[in-house]
Amino acid sequence: MRAVVKAVADRGVEYVADAPEPKAGDGAVVVEIAAASLCGTDRECYEWSPAARAFNLGLPVVLGHEAAGTVVEVGTGVENLRVGDRVALESHLACGQCFACRTGDAHTCERTQILGMHFDGVFAERVAVPHRICVPLPDSVPLETGALLESAGVAVHAIQRAGYSVAGRGVLVSGAGPVGMVVARLASLMGAAYVIVIEPNPFRRAEAEQLGVITMEPGEGVAERSRELSGHRGGADVAFECSGAAAALPSLFDAVRREGTVVTVGHPGRPVPIDVAAQINKRGITLRGIFGRRLWETWEQTLLLLNSGRLDLDWLITHRLQLSQVDQAIDLLTGDACKVLLVPGLG
pLDDT digits over 144-171, tens only?
999 999 999 999 999 999 977 899 999 9
Q: What is the percent of the chain with per-residue pLDDT over 70, rounded to a whole number?
A: 100
Interval 214-226 mean pLDDT: 93
Could you give the CA distance from residue 14 to residue 19 in angstroms, rounded to a whole number?
11
| Residues 28-66 pLDDT 10s | 999 999 999 999 999 999 999 998 999 999 999 999 999
| Other Cβ atoms closer than 10 A to 96 | 12
- Dihedrals φ, ψ of 274, to 5°? -125, 130
At residue 12, the pLDDT reads 96
- What are the residue boundaries of the structural domains of the chain, listed by start? 3-148+313-346, 155-289
At residue 201 the predicted structure's pLDDT band, cuts being 50, 70 and 90, is very high
Domain 155-289 has CATH 3.40.50.720: yes
Reply yes or no on whether the pLDDT at 72 is more than 80. Answer: yes
Reply yes or no on whether the pLDDT at 269 is more than 90. Answer: no
| Residues 167-195 pLDDT 10s | 999 999 999 999 999 999 999 999 999 99
At residue 163, the pLDDT reads 78
Mean pLDDT of the chain: 95
Could you give the CA distance from residue 316 to residue 148 in angstroms, rounded to a whole number?
8
At residue 271 the predicted structure's pLDDT band, cuts being 50, 70 and 90, is confident
Ramachandran category for residue 169: left, alpha or beta (phi over 0 → left; psi -120 to 50 → alpha): beta
Q: What is the CATH number that goes with domain 3-148+313-346?
A: 3.90.180.10
What pTM did the predictor assign?
Answer: 0.94
**Do the two domains 3-148+313-346 and 155-289 of this chain adopt the same fold?**
no
Question: Can you list the alpha helix ranges (DSSP code H) found in the chain?
Answer: 40-47, 50-53, 99-102, 143-146, 149-161, 178-189, 202-209, 222-230, 248-255, 297-308, 326-332
Q: Are 31 and 129 in contact (CB under 8 A)?
A: yes
At residue 313, the pLDDT reads 95
